[in-house]
Chains A and B, each alone.
Chain A
Amino acid sequence: MSEKVLMKGNEAIAEAAIRAGCRHYFGYPITPQTEVAAYMAKRMPKIGGCFLQAESEIAAINMVYGVASAGKRVMTSSSSPGISLKSEGLSYLAGSDLPAFVVNVQRGGPGLGGIQPSQSDYFQSTKGGGHGDYRMIVLAPASVQEMASLTIKGFDLADKYRMTAMILADGTMGQMMEPVELGDVEVKDYDKSWAVTGTKCARPHNIVNSLFLEPEELEKNNFARYERYKAVEENEVLFESYLMDDAEICVVAFGISARVSKNAINEARKQGIKVGMIRPITLWPFPKAPLLAAAGHCHTFLSVEMNMGQMIEDIELAIRCKRPVRLVNRVGGMIPSPEQVLLAIQDADKGGKAS
């Protein structure tokens, strides 16, 4: 067992990526994720890797596209406005079935917004962002340890399913320090015979491409891609269930919102309120089954999120609108307080009993 060290979330991502075999990082400065780039700038030259500060977010994601085409592990990181710029590249990565790893340490929006923590890119990351039919695996860490472990997992999932895995964190997760244990990582080998590595004049040329002018062919491609997505939905859902066995109220929250909610749930439990939490760790694939099961014994759901109500739509779909889902939120860089969540739990408790 390796020693526990204190690390910032952003640094934990960078170190975990290196341990996962990532030797190429491209980025452009933006708060609050700059520590990832700074860490990479320091470490990469010492381990034979490549850190390159690109001229723009757009260039950075296309450099990622280049390395991914060559079959090597590669990443970029940014924060909300920068991810908007990268969205073109995210669509192309999907269209070309390339594995890539992208980090979004969210800040408030829309537009230039602010630099304080936010979760308002939920739609952008889980529903698209770029154009066309595609998905990304979206991982939502709620601790510095998970910033590291989900980074390692993200690289594996990206390679396994030939798609982009994204860490959707927020400014708090990026900036906070917690103990983290970083062991050695076993980097698995994946078949990358599709990569452009030079034909050696010994095989037909490989083409990395997302253009298919024949509609039949493009449709076939989309169908095939969604078969893979289906496998992801079947096999890769991750969530944490907290005090759900006897729960009558179900809090749903991810990232920092889940941390805050835990305080409120513990307090509510002391007051005898039967409340628990389902914390999605993968936002896509979304943990639909456990939520639907919870609808069997919970009279109310609370969606605690730092946006104007984005994940709430997925909760309503997952439970097929069988139970009311209430939004508990702060936006613009504000973080819900445990008291706010507790009040919402107490309110739901009264409302639930009255009805």
Chain B
Amino acid sequence: MMNQILIAGFGGQGVLFAGKFLAYKGLIEGKQVSWLPSYGPEMRGGTANCSVIVGDEPIGSPIVNAPNTLVAMNLPSLQKYENAVVPGGLILVDSTLIAEQVRRTDVRVCYVPATKLANDSGFATLANMILMGKLLKESEDMSFEHTEDALKKVIPARKIDLLGVNLKALETGFAYAE
């Protein structure tokens, strides 16, 4: 199984951090992983995206052109990458920020009002991790195991007090039912 994940949104939404979390979780679970950010001016204000591959086989190209899983955190990202998702793949949509519906009918879609859930729960900046929680739930080869260990790896030491809310956000997403 090779899970090719593309996380896309605005710069500042925690796209890269969410990707790092998945990559570290994979690493802890003994899988092959790669993480590749978009870089350059488009990170400031435009769409930022990040390719994450988690799988059992050695990884060839680290670039996710045809994701199994697309996490769309804003409308431009959904519009840009919707058609790239492989048939039978999964699209996670932050439905607070994206009013439109996914047009594809050959993919699974989860609409998660991640930004609203995050605001309501008092961790406004963690919509990304709510979506990650949902991703763990909906991906057949993933589970909630090792999330805390992975978070400890990606949260810088000086911000480790944020471990609790990150975990909470992941749980919120994992438990969310449409």
Contacts and interface: CB of A to CB of B under 8 A. Distances in A.
A–B: direct contact at CB < 8 Å: yes
Interface of A: 4, 6, 31-32, 115-116, 171-172, 175-179, 256, 259-263, 266, 335, 337-339
Contact of B61 (A31, A171, A178, A263): A263
Contacts of A172: 36, 62-63
B33 A266 contact: no
Nearest to A175: B39
Contacts, number: 61
A266 B59 CA distance: 11
A288 B35 CA distance: 33
Given A259-B61, A260-B61, A338-B60, A177 B40 contact: no
B68 interface: no
Contacts of A32: 39-40
Interface of B: 20, 23-24, 27, 33-37, 39-41, 59-63, 65, 153
A335 B63 contact: yes
B33 A260 contact: no
A115 B60 contact: no
A7 to B, nearest CB: 10
Nearest to B19: A177
A335 B61 CA distance: 10
17 contacts: A4-B27, A6-B27, A177-B20, A177-B36, A178-B35, A178-B59, A179-B33, A256-B62, A259-B61, A260-B63, A262-B60, A262-B61, A263-B61, A335-B63, A338-B61, A338-B65, A339-B65
Contact of A176 (B34, B40, B41): B34
A256 B65 CA distance: 14
Contacts of A256: 61-62
A275 to B, nearest CB: 14
Given A256-B62, A266-B60, 17 more contacts: A6-B35, A31-B39, A32-B40, A115-B39, A115-B41, A172-B36, A172-B62, A175-B37, A175-B39, A176-B34, A178-B34, A178-B62, A256-B61, A260-B61, A262-B61, A263-B61, A337-B65
Contacts of A260: 60-61, 63
Contacts of B23: 6, 177
B62 A176 contact: yes
A177 B65 contact: no
